[in-house]
Structure 1
Amino acid sequence: MFTLIDEDVSYDSRFKMNPPLAAREDREALLEGLADGTVDAIATDHAPHEPAAKDVEFDRAPFGVLGFETALGLGLDQLVRTGRLPLMRLVELFTVGPARVLGMERKIAAGEPADLTIFSTERAWTYDVGESPSKSRNSPFDGWKFRGGPVATIVAGRVSFRAH
């Protein structure tokens, strides 16, 4: 919702998400809340659906889009590079903020398995939903170009993703 508004899209089911896209004023209020600390976390509506489920009339399509794969790239491009947020605030909104909200605060400690995302602020890449490991293809960001994003993800101490 910090990227697109309802005026930006047609009734294409790839844009049907929760919360739904809203008006420009709502987007601006959200951006202010992210900057001033009113908003504690950023989450995605990562809700993959089989292509057939989304290939219907807008009103009949389920809510949900692919979100994990583009979230960090969108945050870097739309929030940090625009001067809306400092980088460390974005990192907090994606990490400790959601953990606090969910009561899942964890620490990185020697000898303990870690959950980490290693990212670059400069890696140029284009999102191609056709290369997604997801069963779904419902992303409004197919073809978008990003500067910065995940390089690797480590879950419970094991590498689960590496950018190519």
Structure 2
Amino acid sequence: MAQQHGLPVTGEACPHHLFLTDEACRTFGVNAKMAPPLREEADRQALIDGLRDGTLCAIATDHAPHSADEKAAGWTKAPFGIIGLEAAVPLCLSELYNKGVLTLPQLIALFTVGPRKVLGLPVGSLELGATADVTILDLDAKHSISVESFASRSRNCPYDGWQCRGKVVGTLVGSSR
């Protein structure tokens, strides 16, 4: 409603809030402890609706790496957060694009244009001489998320073993100048 009145209000969602509910705490324990906490299915669906209708303009990861020792401290003492950077794109391709929830341009905009607008950054360009910032996707690649293959040294991730369709197969960042 605030956006409809021209107020500069933005919102984002993280994959864990889009694909998990509070029930995940039973399965994944402290690897599902985050702030804000996971909510009920109706809340999860509301976030997806917000992505669809533009109320939410970005998908973020809230990447919060913690050591196994920190997470082993138990529910009350373990730090909040999970790692999500390396799982975000495959999860979103699988659950939002490949299941017809969002179009590919909508999904890409949530990772690119939306965050850039919030931060006041120029939108990327493929023009000659522009700084490269390109991610190459294989939309049909079937694979399993494996936290052991992550570059992150942390493993606090509830997605280990999730079957996905679509993944990042290359990136190019830099300038030819």
5+ residue gaps, structure 2, are 1-16
User: Identity, % of aligned pairs?
Assistant: 44
For 1:5, the aligned partner's letter is T
Q: 1:118 aligns with which of 131, 136, 139?
A: 136
Alpha-carbon distance between aligned partners in 1 of 2:71 and 2:175, rounded to the nearest angstrom: 35
Change beyond 3 A, Cα 1:153–1:18? farther
The offset of 1:137, in angstroms, is 0.6
What's the counterpart of residue 20 of structure 2? 4
1:50-129 superposed matches below 5 A:
50-108=67-125, 109-129=127-147
Q: 2:157 aligns with which of 139, 142, 161?
A: 139
Alpha-carbon distance between aligned partners in 2 of 1:111 and 1:100, rounded to the nearest angstrom: 22
For 2:36, the aligned partner's letter is P
5+ residue gaps, structure 1, are 159-164
The offset of 1:157, in angstroms, is 4.6
Would the aligned equivalents of 1:126 and 1:146 in 2 still touch at CA under 8 Å?
yes
Q: 2:63 aligns with which of 41, 46, 52?
A: 46
Q: Deviations over 1:44-77 (max 9, x none)?
A: 1211112211122112111111111111111111
CA RMSD between the two structures: 1.6
Would the aligned equivalents of 2:24 and 2:32 in 1 still touch at CA under 8 Å?
no
Change beyond 3 A, Cα 1:157–1:51? farther
Tell me the number of residue pairs that the alignment of Structure 1 and Structure 2 aligns. Answer: 158
Q: Secondary structure at the match of 2:142?
A: strand
What's the counterpart of residue 20 of structure 1? 37
TM-score by length of 1: 0.89
Greater Rg over alpha carbons, structure: 2
Alpha-carbon distance between aligned partners in 1 of 2:90 and 2:107, rounded to the nearest angstrom: 11
TM-score by length of 2: 0.83
Q: Secondary structure at the match of 1:19?
A: coil
